[in-house]
C-alpha cells in the first residue's frame, strides 16, 4: 500500500491531448528538436525513477528521519543511493540551459518530474528541489566567475544548494532581517548572522553545499530595499585553500512531516561569500526564481493530492464493508466501499481537483516556457502576464488540495488511514508545510488580488477571462458547461470591478477578501480545465473510449458539485464590505 | 507555548448565562442539591487538574510514545502520576450513579471535564474516556454479580476498561465480525478471536483491565443480529484463582497521533468471559453508551479546536511581522499579525466555531441529563428525540472543526506551526482520529439523515426547528439575526421535505446528500447558538461589558461569514438528484 504509481497515462493525456504541447513546442526554436515520442520517453523514464527508486525510500525515511550530531546531519537510509541515481540519470539538468550542461527541455515536462518526485518522496525532493532555484538565480545574476565556478556542479547535481532567507524575527517579513555582510579587501564579503528553517542547510548527499544567503551591507537602508544576495559555499574553492567555510549547522527541527528533509538552524560567523547581482537588490535577484519555485510548491500539492487519491481509489475498490444502498455485489454480505455514495462522491471530488489541477499546473508551467522562449514578443508578454496571475493560484489552491485531499483519502481508509503502514497519514503530514513555505497561502492571495489584479487595474485578469470566454465558444464544447462557465466568468468580472472600485476608498478591503477571491478564481479555472478536457474527450482524442467516457462524467461532476462553491466565495466577499470585528486576546 | 489554558470563563458563561443550567438542574430532583457555586468550583478544579497536572505530560508523551515489549506496554513518563491524581480526586466518578460510588453530577458539567482532558492530553484521556462507556453498559445490562464485582473499581478508576469491537475485516461493518464465544459449564464463556485498534488493550496504569468484547455464540445468526457482548477481564477474580486470563497484546500501532495512547492488537485464546445482557443482543447493550460516547468524541473535537484557537490568538497578538494595511503600531516597522486581515478573519472564524460549538455541545450534554432525570415524561421524551438528532451532528461537526481549526491555527504560526515545539501540529495530528472512530463522520451523517430524519418522517427535526423558531421570537433577540435564522430554518424545512419525498422513489438519494445535510443543520445550529449568546450578551448578563461586547461582534461575524455556507450545502443537495458518476479504478 505504500507504493506510488505515477499517473503517467493521465499526465501524458494532459500534456498531449488537452494542452497539445508538442504542437506548441514545435513553434518555439528552443524546443524545436523535441518530438512527442522523446517527451513521452522522458516522462516514462521519470515515472520509473520515482516509482522504483525513490518511492521505496519514503515510508522508512519518515520513520528514521534525519539525525543531527555535532554539526553533521545524516539523511535516512537509501537517500544517498537515490541521489546518486538521480544525478547519474541527469534529472537535475532537465530544464536547465544546455550551455551550462542542461538538457534544455520544457518546464512543462519538468513539471511532471517535480509532481512525481514530491509524490514519491517529498522529504527527499527538498534536496533536489532547491537546485533549480539557485541555478536560475545564478544564471541570471551571477558574475561570470561565479557562474563558471558553481553552475556546472549545480546543474549536474554534484553539489546541492540552499536558500537562506528566514531568521527568527523575520519570516514572511524579510525586511526585519539582521544578517550582516562586511566587504573584504579581495572583493568578497564576510557574512555573519543566524538563519533558521534552512532546508538542506547540512546533509550527507553532496560534498559541497552552495548557500544563497540574504544579508545587509553596512550602508544598507532599512527594510526590504536594503537586502543583498550572497553565494556562500560550505567548502571554499581549491584556489582559496579548499577548507571549510566558517558556517555551522547548530541543529535540526523536529517537524510534523518531511522528516527526511533536514531543516537546519545555520550560523554564519564571518563566512566568506560573494555578492550575486547588485548591492541592496537581493530580493530582485531572488524574484527571478519566484514563479518557478511557487509553481514547484503547487506541483508538490498536486503530487500529494494525486498520490492520496490513487491510493484511496485502489483501497475503496478492494475493501469490502457494509451493504451499499444500491448493491454492487448482491450475492455477498457486503459491498466494496466504492459502492457507498459518500465514498464515491469523495473520490469523484478528489478526481476533479487532481485532474483539473493537473491541467492548470502544466498549463502554468508551459507559460514559463512561452514567456521565455516564444519567438513572438506579444506572445511572450501575454504569457508573462498570465503567469504572474496563475502562479499564486497554483501555489495556494494546489497545496490546499494536497492537504485536504490527503485528509479525504485518509478518511476513506478509516482506522487504517491513521496508521503509518498505509502511507496516507504521512502524505497528510508532509503536505501541510506546502501551505506555508515559499510565501504563505495568505501572502499568495494578497499577491494575486492586491499586486496582480488591483495593481494593474484588472488588465491581466481581463486577458485571462478572455481566454476562458474564447474556450467557451470553441467548436465541440458542451453547451451546458459553456453556459455555466460564462456565467461564472461574468460574475468574476463583476466582483472584480466591485473590488477595484471599493479599494479606492477602503484600501483594506482587498486584503479582507483576498483568500476568498483566490479560491473563487481557482474554482473557475478548474471548471475551465474540465471544459477543455471534456471537449477533447468528446472528440475522441488521444485515449481509449472508456478513459474518455470517465473524463466526461468527471467533468459533469465538476460542474455539478465544485462550481457551486463560487457562490459561497461571492457571498463572503460581499460580507467583507463591513470592517472586521475586534477580537480581544484576554480570554 | 505548549501550555493549555482552559477557557473556564467562557465555559461558565455558556453553562450559567447562555444555557442557564443551574436553573434547569434545580428542576430535576437528581441534581437538586447542586447549586451554581458548587458547579463552578468543580469546573475550576477540573481546570486546575488539566492545566497543571495533565497538560505538561502532553508534548513529551507525544515524542516518547508508548513502547511495546513482549506483550507489555509502557505508557510515556508522567502518565501514571497523572492517572493517580485523576483517580484520587474522584474525576472518573463525576457523572456516575452515587449508588455505586459515583458523584451523580450532571453530564453537562462532565462535558467540561471531557473537553478539557482531551484538550490537555488527548492520548492520555483515551485511557480515562472508556471508563464511562463501560460503566454505562454494565450499569444498564450487567448481572448483579458482574456489577458488584466490577462497577466499583471502574467508577473509582482503580481498573480501566476497553471496548473490543474492530477486527481486520470488520470495521464500520460489525456484522462481518468472527470472534467466537463458546459456552462453558460454569455459565461463563471461552472467547477466541483477534481484535485490532483496541485503545488501552494493554497499559501500565492499572492492575486490571476490563475488556468488553463483541463475539458470536455458536448458534448466532449471521450479521449484526448475531453478536453478543462479554466482559473479559485481564486478571481473573481472586475466587477463580486470580491468574492472568488467556488474552494477549500482540503489538501496538504506529499512528499519526495520540501516540501516548496504546492502540493494541489483541488475541483472545479461549479467554474466560461473562455475557453482558441477552445473547445476540450485544449491539443493543452497546447502544446504551452510544450517545454519550459520540458526544464525548465531539467534545474532543471541541477541545482540539479551542486549544488551537487560544494558542493562535495569543501568538497572533505577540508575533510582529509586516505592516498591516491599517496600522496597529504606526511607530514600529511592523505590526502584530493579529492586525493583518487574513489572520484576524481566520481567528474570528475559529472563535465563532469554538464558542458556538461549545453552546451546542453543552446543550447536547444537558439533553442527556434531561432525558434521564427530568421528572416530566414529555420533557424526557422530547429531550431523547433531540438528543438522537443532535448527537451525530455534534460528533461530526465538532471533530471536523477540531481538525480544521488546528490546521487554521497552525497556519497562523507559519513555519513555527510545523515544528513540535509550538504544540499545534501535535493537536492537528491528534485531532484527526476523531473523524474516524466511534462511527466515521460519514456514518454519523447517515445516522442523522437516514435513521433519524427520514426514519421518523421528519418529526424530531420539526421539533428542533420549532425550538429554534421560538428562540427567534424571544424578547431581546437581534431582529436581523432572527430574520436570517428564520429564513434558514424555512429553507431547511423545505429541503428536508424535498428529501423525504424524493427518498420514496430514489432510496439512494439521502445517502448521496447525507454529509451536506449534516453540515447544513450544523451551521444552522451554530447560528442559533450565536443568536442565543447575543441575546444574553445584549441583556448584559453574567459577565463584564467588554466580554459581552466581543460576544456580540462575534455573533455578527457568524451571521455574516458562516451562515452563507448554507447555500453551498443546498446547492449540492440539489445537485445530487442525479445519480453519481462511475469512477474507473484502472488509471
Asked whether the beta carbons of residue A417 and residue B435 sit closer than 8 angstroms, the reply is: no
Distance from CA of A336 to the nearest CA of B (A): 12
B253 at A interface, C-beta within 8 A: yes
Nearest C-alpha neighbor of A158 from the set A209, A234, A100: A209
Please provide the DSSP assignment of B72-134 as one string.
EEEPPTTHHHHHHHHHHTTGGGTTS-GGGT-----HHHHHHHHHHHHHHHHHHHHHHHHHHHH
Asked whether residue B587 is domain-assigned, the answer is no
- Predicted confidence at residue B586, as pLDDT, reads 72
What pLDDT does residue B587 have?
52
Do the chains contact at A429 and B256, CB–CB below 8 Å? Answer: yes
Which residues in chain B have their CB less than 8 angstroms from residue A223's CB? 333
Q: What is the pLDDT of residue B2?
A: 59
Cβ neighbours of B338 in A, within 8 Å: 583, 585
A208 touches chain B (CB under 8 A): no
Question: pLDDT above 90 covers what percent of chain A?
Answer: 93
Residues of B in contact with A441 (CB under 8 A): 411
Q: Are residues B141 and B173 in the same domain?
A: no
Asked if residue A143 belongs to a domain, the reply is yes
Phi, psi of A584 (to 5 degrees): -75, 140
Convert A423-456 to b/e letters by CB count within 10 Å (16 or more is b). bbbbbbbbbbbbbbbbbbbbbbbbbbbbebbbee
- Best mutation site among B416, B534, B586, B587 for testing chain A: the one with the most A CBs within 10 Å? B587
Q: B401 and B349 in one domain?
A: yes
Is B3 a member of any domain?
Answer: no
Partner-chain contact A581 B554, CB within 8 Å: yes
**Is residue B130 domain-resident?**
yes
Residues B190, B62, single domain; the answer is: no
Do A561 and B583 lie within an 8 Å CB cutoff? Answer: no
**Is B192 in the same domain as B133?**
no
CB atoms B313 and A585 under 8 Å: yes
Mean pLDDT score across all residues of chain A: 96
Per-residue pLDDT, B328: 87
Q: Do B334 and A175 touch (CB under 8 A)?
A: yes
pLDDT in tens, A82-139: 999 999 999 999 999 999 899 999 999 999 999 999 999 999 999 998 888 889 899 9
Determine which of A9, A197, A345, A547 to mutate to test the interface with B (most B C-beta atoms within 10 Å). A345
Please judge whether A580 and B348 are an interchain contact, meaning their C-beta atoms are less than 8 angstroms apart: yes
Give the CATH number for residue B419: 1.20.140.10
Interface of A with B in 5-44 (CB under 8 A): 5, 7, 9-10
What is the per-residue pLDDT for B335?
Answer: 94
Q: Are A62 and A190 contained in the same domain?
A: no
Q: Mark whether A131 and A239 lie in a shared domain.
A: no
Q: Which residues of B touch A177 (CB under 8 A)?
A: none
Q: What are the Cα distances from residue B167, in Å, to A321, B164, B192, B196?
A: 12, 9, 12, 5
pLDDT value at residue B130: 80
Task: Give which of A325, A338, A512 to mutate to test B binding, by max B Cβ within 10 Å.
Answer: A325
Domain C-terminal end among A252, A280, A308: A280
A2 pLDDT band, cuts 50/70/90, is: low
Number of Cβ within a 10 Å radius of residue B129: 21
Q: A325 to chain B: which residues are within 8 Å by CB?
A: 507-508, 511
Q: Which residues of B touch A403 (CB under 8 A)?
A: 407
Q: Based on the domain organization, do A146 and A175 belong to the same domain?
A: no
Residues B139 and B165 placed together within one structural domain of the fold: no
Of A433, A441, A547, the CB nearest to B418: A433
Range of the domain at B263: 159-280
How many domains are contained in chain A?
Answer: 3
- The pLDDT score that the predictor gives to residue A130 is 80
Mean pLDDT for the stretch of residues A308-313? 97
Kind of pairing between the strands at A67-69 and A72-74: antiparallel
In angstroms, the CA A337 to CA A314 distance is 11
Q: In A, residues 364-403, which contact B (CB 8 Å cutoff)?
A: 403
| Domain end position, chosen among B251, B280, B309 | B280
Contact (CB<8Å) B575/A564: yes
Give the nearest partner residue to A342 out of B310, B514, B553, using CB atoms.
B514
DSSP structure class, residue B476: T
Residue A127 near residue A83 (C-beta atoms within 8 A)? yes
**Length of chain A, in residues:** 587
- Look at residue A40 and tell me whether its pLDDT is greater than 70: yes
Clarify whether residues A200 and A125 are in a common domain.
Answer: no
* Mean predicted confidence (pLDDT) in A217-237: 96
What pTM was computed for the model? Answer: 0.97
Considering the domain architecture, whether residues A46 and A129 belong to the same structural domain is answered as yes
Task: Tell me whether residue B366 is in a domain.
Answer: yes
* Contact of A331 with A339, CB cutoff 8 Å: no
pLDDT in tens, chain B (587 residues): 558 999 999 999 999 999 999 999 999 999 999 999 999 999 999 999 999 999 999 999 999 999 999 999 999 999 999 999 999 999 999 999 999 899 999 999 999 999 999 999 999 999 998 888 889 899 999 999 999 999 999 999 999 999 999 999 999 999 999 999 999 999 999 999 999 999 999 999 999 999 999 999 999 999 999 999 999 999 999 999 999 999 999 999 999 999 999 999 999 999 999 999 999 999 988 888 888 899 999 999 999 999 999 999 999 999 999 999 999 888 888 999 999 999 999 999 999 999 999 999 999 999 999 999 999 999 999 999 999 999 999 999 999 999 999 999 999 999 999 999 999 999 999 999 999 999 999 999 999 999 999 999 999 999 999 999 999 999 999 999 999 999 999 999 999 999 999 999 999 999 999 999 999 999 999 999 999 999 999 999 899 999 999 999 999 999 999 999 999 999 999 999 999 998 888 75
Shortest CA gap B587–chain A (Å): 7
Choosing from A81, A438, A541, A543, the catalytic residue is A438
Answer yes or no: is B1 within a domain. Answer: no
Q: Is A328 on the interface with B (CB under 8 A)?
A: no
Q: Which of A8, A518, A581 is the best substitution to test chain B (most B C-beta atoms within 10 A)?
A: A581
- Both B191 and B139 in one domain: the answer is no
Find chain B residues with C-beta within 8 A of A571's C-beta: 564, 567
Question: Beta-carbon neighbour count of residue B330 at 10 Å?
Answer: 8
Of the residues B115, B167, B438, B543, only one is catalytic, namely: B438
- Which residues in chain B touch residue A420, judged by CB atoms under 8 angstroms apart? 254-256
pLDDT beyond 80 at A586: no
Rounded (5°) CA angle A374-A377-A382: 80
Question: What ipTM describes this predicted complex?
Answer: 0.97
Q: Is position B438 annotated as part of the catalytic site?
A: yes
pLDDT digits (tens, 9 = 90+) for A369-390: 999 999 999 999 999 999 999 9
Residue B51, domain CATH: 1.10.540.10
In order, the DSSP letters of B343-396 are: HHHHHHHHHHHHHHHHHHHHHHHHHHHHHHH-SSHHHHHHHHHHHHHHHHHHHH
B508 at A interface, C-beta within 8 A: yes
Q: B138 exposed, middle or buried (CB, 10 Å; 0-12, 13-18, 19+)?
A: buried
C-alpha–C-alpha distance, residues B270 and B250, integer Å: 16
Residues of A in contact with B572 (CB under 8 A): 561, 564
Domain end residue (candidates: A280, A301, A328): A280
Count how many Cα atoms sit within 13 Å of the Cα of residue A192 in the half-sphere of its side chain. Answer: 9
Within a domain: B234: yes
**Residue A2 placed within a domain:** no
Q: How many CB contacts within 8 angstroms connect chain A with chain B?
A: 250
Closest-CA distance, B373 to chain A, in angstroms, reads 33
Return the CATH number at A176.
2.40.110.20
Measured CA to CA, the distance from residue B32 to residue A488 in angstroms comes to 60
B323 and B250 share a domain? no
Amino acid at each position: 500500500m505504500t507504493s506510488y504509481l505515477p499517473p503517467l497515462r493521465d499526465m501524458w493525456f494532459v500534456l498531449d491531448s488537452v494542452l497539445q504541447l508538442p504542437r506548441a513546442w514545435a513553434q518555439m526554436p528552443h524546443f524545436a528538436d523535441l518530438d512527442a515520442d522523446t517527451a513521452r520517453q522522458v516522462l516514462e523514464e521519470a515515472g520509473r525513477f520515482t516509482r522504483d527508486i525513490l518511492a521505496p525510500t519514503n515510508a522508512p525515511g519518515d520513520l528514521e528521519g534525519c539525525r543531527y550530531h555535532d554539526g553533521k546531519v545524516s539523511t535516512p537510509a537509501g537517500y544517498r543511493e537515490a541521489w546518486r541515481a538521480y544525478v547519474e540519470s541527469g534529472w537535475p539538468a532537465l530544464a536547465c540551459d544546455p550551455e551550462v550542461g542542461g538538457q534544455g527541455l520544457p518546464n512543462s515536462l519538468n513539471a511532471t518530474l517535480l509532481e512525481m518526485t514530491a509524490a514519491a518522496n517529498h522529504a527527499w525532493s527538498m534536496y533536489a528541489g532547491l537546485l533549480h532555484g539557485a541555478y536560475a538565480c545564478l544564471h541570471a545574476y551571477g558574475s561570470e566567475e561565479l557562474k563558471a565556478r558553481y553552475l556546472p556542479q549545480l546543474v549536474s547535481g554534484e553539489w546541492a544548494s540552499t536558500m537562506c532567507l528566514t531568521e527568527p524575527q523575520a519570516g514572511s517579513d524579510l525586511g526585519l532581517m539582521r544578517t550582516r555582510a562586511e566587504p573584504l579587501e579581495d572583493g568578497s564579503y564576510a557574512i555573519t548572522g543566524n538563519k533558521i528553517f534552512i532546508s538542506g542547510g547540512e546533509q550527507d548527499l553532496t560534498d559541497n553545499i552552495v548557500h544563497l544567503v540574504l544579508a545587509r551591507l553596512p550602508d544598507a537602508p532599512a527594510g526590504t530595499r536594503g537586502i543583498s544576495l550572497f553565494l556562500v559555499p560550505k567548502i571554499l574553492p581549491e584556489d582559496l585553500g579548499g577548507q571549510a567555510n566558517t558556517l555551522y549547522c547548530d541543529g535540526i527541527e523536529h517537524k510534523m512531516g518531511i522528516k527526511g528533509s533536514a531543516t537546519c538552524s545555520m550560523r554564519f560567523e564571518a563566512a566568506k561569500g560573494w555578492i550575486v547581482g547588485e548591492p541592496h537588490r537581493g530580493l530582485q535577484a531572488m524574484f527571478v526564481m519566484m514563479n518557478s519555485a511557487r509553481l514547484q510548491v503547487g506541483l508538490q500539492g498536486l503530487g500529494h493530492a494525486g498520490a492520496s487519491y490513487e491510493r484511496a481509489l485502489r483501497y475503496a475498490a478492494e475493501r469490502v464493508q457494509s451493504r451499499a444502498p444500491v448493491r454492487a455485489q448482491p450475492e455477498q454480505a457486503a459491498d466494496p466501499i466504492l459502492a457507498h455514495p459518500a465514498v464515491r462522491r469523495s473520490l469523484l471530488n478528489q478526481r476533479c481537483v487532481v485532474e483539473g489541477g493537473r491541467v492548470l499546473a502544466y498549463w502554468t508551467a508551459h507559460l514559463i516556457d512561452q514567456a521565455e522562449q516564444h519567438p513572438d514578443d506579444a506572445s511572450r508578454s501575454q504569457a508573462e502576464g498570465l503567469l504572474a496571475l496563475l502562479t499564486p493560484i497554483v501555489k495556494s489552491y494546489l497545496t490546499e488540495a494536497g492537504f485536504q485531499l490527503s485528509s479525504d483519502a485518509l478518511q476513506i481508509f478509516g482506522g487504517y488511514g491513521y496508521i503509518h503502514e498505509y502511507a496516507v497519514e504521512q502524505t497528510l503530514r508532509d503536505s501541510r508545510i506546502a501551505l506555508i513555505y515559499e510565501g504563505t497561502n495568505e501572502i499568495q492571495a494578497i499577491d494575486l488580488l492586491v499586486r496582480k489584479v488591483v495593481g494593474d487595474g484588472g488588465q491581466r485578469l481581463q486577458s485571462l477571462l478572455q481566454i476562458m470566454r474564447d474556450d467557451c465558444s470553441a467548436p465541440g464544447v458542451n453547451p451546458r458547461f459553456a453556459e455555466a462557465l460564462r456565467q461564472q466568468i461574468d460574475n468574476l468580472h463583476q466582483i472584480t470591478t466591485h473590488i477595484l472600485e471599493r479599494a479606492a476608498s477602503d484600501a483594506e478591503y482587498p486584503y479582507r477578501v483576498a483568500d476568498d477571491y483566490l479560491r473563487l478564481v481557482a474554482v473557475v479555472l478548474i471548471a475551465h480545465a474540465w471544459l477543455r478536457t471534456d471537449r477533447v474527450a468528446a472528440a475522441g482524442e488521444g485515449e481509449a473510449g472508456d478513459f474518455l467516457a470517465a473524463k466526461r462524467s468527471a467533468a459533469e461532476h465538476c460542474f455539478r458539485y465544485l462550481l457551486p462553491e463560487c457562490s459561497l466565495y461571492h457571498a463572503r466577499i460581499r460580507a467583507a464590505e463591513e470592517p472586521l470585528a475586534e477580537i480581544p486576546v484576554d480570554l
